[in-house]
Structure 1
Amino acid sequence: MEDFIKDMSQSTNCTYRKISIRDDWQETAPVEEKDLRKYLYCTTRHSWFYAAYHAFDEFREKYIEAHGRAPFVTEVVRWYWTIGSDVTLEQHMEMMHRFSVFKAWFVDRYMVSRTRKNVIALHIDTVKARYRDEYPGNNNPEVPGLRATYLSVILEAPELAIPISQISYQSRITKREEKLPMVVSLMGAPNTDMELLRWTLDALRKCGRKTRVQTGKVAL
C-alpha cells in the first residue's frame, strides 16, 4: 500500500500523510466523549441491524397474513433480525445524530479545505484465502465501534476499491501456488464522485499502473 500511495502522489504532484482518526478525535472532538470507539460503540447494532430488520417489516406482515407463519430466513439473517428487533427508534435516531456529528467533523478536518479536496486511502480487509468448502457462518460479526468499511456510508462519500497487486499463497484445494488480489480503498469528499473517478484513472495511468483487471484466476 505504501508503494501505491507514493506512486499516486508523485504522479499527480500531491503530498500525503498518515492520520489516526482515533487520536485526532481525542484531541479535537466537538463533543464531550473523546473516545471515538465509545462514541460510535453501537454503530452496527443501532444503525445497520435496526435498518436491516425494519426494512422487512411489511414483507414479514404480508407473509404471515398469507401463510400463517413467519418466513424462513438463514441463520445469519435470523441473527441480525433478532438483534435489530431489540433496538428502539430512540436508540437508532441517537446513532444517526452521532453519525451527523462525526461526518461534519471528519469532512471539515480531513476532506475539504479552501484550496483543495483530499482523498483518503484505506485498507479494506485482511487478504486471506476463503475456501468455498468451509461453512462461512456469520461473516458480519457485531464489531463495536467504527469500521473502515462503514466510513463512506456514514460520510455519504464516494469510494473506489482499487486492486493494486497480488500476493501468493499455497492453496489447500489445488495444492498449488495461487494468487489473491490486494485492494486499497480510495474515498473522496461527499459529492465528488466523478472527480474521484477521473483523478484515480488519471493517476493510475500517469504512474504506469493498470486500470483493468483480467478475468479468471489471476486479476493483474
Structure 2
Amino acid sequence: MIDEFVADMVTLLPATVNRLSIREAWKESHPPGTSDDLDEYLVDTVAQMYHYTYYHAFDGFREGYAIKHDGKPLYVLPFVEQRWEKGAAISKAEHEDGTKKMEIYRDWLLETMLIGQADGIEPLVVLPVANAAPNYRDEHTESPLWKSALDQIFLPPILQNVGAPDIMIPIGDVLVPYISKVTKRTEYLPVVIDIMGTPKRDLQLLQAVEKVLDSSGRRSTAAVSQRDQEFFHSAEVVRSEVSTAIGKSE
C-alpha cells in the first residue's frame, strides 16, 4: 500500500524515487573520524541523550519529594524506573559525547537526504511508521529496554531540530483483517506513513501531500471508515426500530 502511494506521488507531483539504505549510504560517505558501521556508531546514543535528559529533568521533583516525605523515595511506573536507572548511570561526559555523535549524524542525514540535492529538486522522505498489529489497552506491553537511534521513528525528531517538517497521514487499511477481542467483529488496522520535507519548507510539504491525496481520490479529512459507517447505520436502524416498538407499546 505504501508503494501504491509512492507511485501516486511519482505520477501526480511528479517525482522520481530514490530508495535509500541509511546504513549503506553511511558506509560509503560517513564523516571523517567516524566508524563506517552506523549501528556501532549510534549504539549508546539514545541512552546517552534521551535517558540522561529524562532522568535529570526530574532531579528537582525527586529531591523535593524526598524532603517533603522524610527521605521516602517516590513510586513510579516500571518503565519510568527503567529509564531513570539508565539515565542515572550515564555520566555528563558520556552525555556530551552522545550529543556530539547525534549532531554529526543529524548533519549527515540532512546533507544526504534533504539539502544535498540538485537545484530545483524538492526532496521528500517517505517512512513507514510501524508494523500495524492489534495493541489492546488492557494488555500489558513490555517497554523495550534498548532502542537504536537508527530506528525510523527517531528520524523526524532528529531532523526537526534543524527545522525539517514532517507529517503523518493514514493512507488506507491493512489488507489482512483481524477479529477484535473487544468488538467481536472483523476490524482493519490503518496504514500510516510519515513524510519529511526540507527545512523551512512546511507549506510546500503540506501542498504536495494535499495534491496527492486530492488527485488520487484519497480523503484529506478524518472520517469514519466505510465499514464503520455501515455498522453505525445498522445500529441506528436497530435503535430506531426499538424506539418505535417502545412507543407503540406505550
**What is the TM-score of this pair, normalised by structure 1?**
0.91
Give 1:124 deviation, angstroms: 0.9
Match of 2:66 in 1: 64
Match of 1:204 in 2: 213
Match of 2:169 in 1: 162
Unaligned runs of 5+ in 2: 230-250
Alpha-carbon distance in structure 2 between the residues aligned to 1:67 and 1:194 = 51
Bigger radius of gyration among the two: 2
Q: Confirm whether residue 149 of structure 1 aligns to residue 153 of structure 2.
A: yes
Alpha-carbon distance in structure 1 between the residues aligned to 2:85 and 2:206 = 39
Report the identity percentage: 29
Give 1:215 deviation, angstroms: 4.7
Query: Could you give the per-residue CA deviations for residues 73-117 of structure 1, whole angstroms, max 9, x where no partner exists?
Result: 111101110111101111111111111111221111221233223
Q: Confirm whether residue 81 of structure 1 aligns to residue 120 of structure 2.
A: no
Alpha-carbon distance in structure 2 between the residues aligned to 1:218 and 1:161 = 22
**1:196 counterpart letter in structure 2:** L
Match of 1:124 in 2: 129
Q: Confirm whether residue 92 of structure 1 aligns to residue 79 of structure 2.
A: no
Give 1:145 deviation, angstroms: 4.6
Alignment of 1:1-220 (within 5 A): 1-31=2-32, 32-68=34-70, 69-112=72-115, 113=117, 114-138=119-143, 140-156=144-160, 157-167=164-174, 168-215=177-224
| Structure 1 runs, 4 residues or longer, greater than 6 Å off | none
- Closer/same/farther in 2, CA of residues 92 and 218 from structure 1, 3 Å limit: farther
Give 1:158 deviation, angstroms: 1.9
Secondary structure of the residue aligned to 1:162 is: strand
- Closer/same/farther in 2, CA of residues 196 and 77 from structure 1, 3 Å limit: same
**Alpha-carbon contact 1:120-1:187 (below 8 Å) kept:** yes
| Number of residue equivalences | 218
Alpha-carbon distance in structure 2 between the residues aligned to 1:67 and 1:20 = 52
Give the CA RMSD over aligned residues.
1.9
**What is the TM-score of this pair, normalised by structure 2?**
0.81
**Alpha-carbon contact 2:45-2:101 (below 8 Å) kept:** no
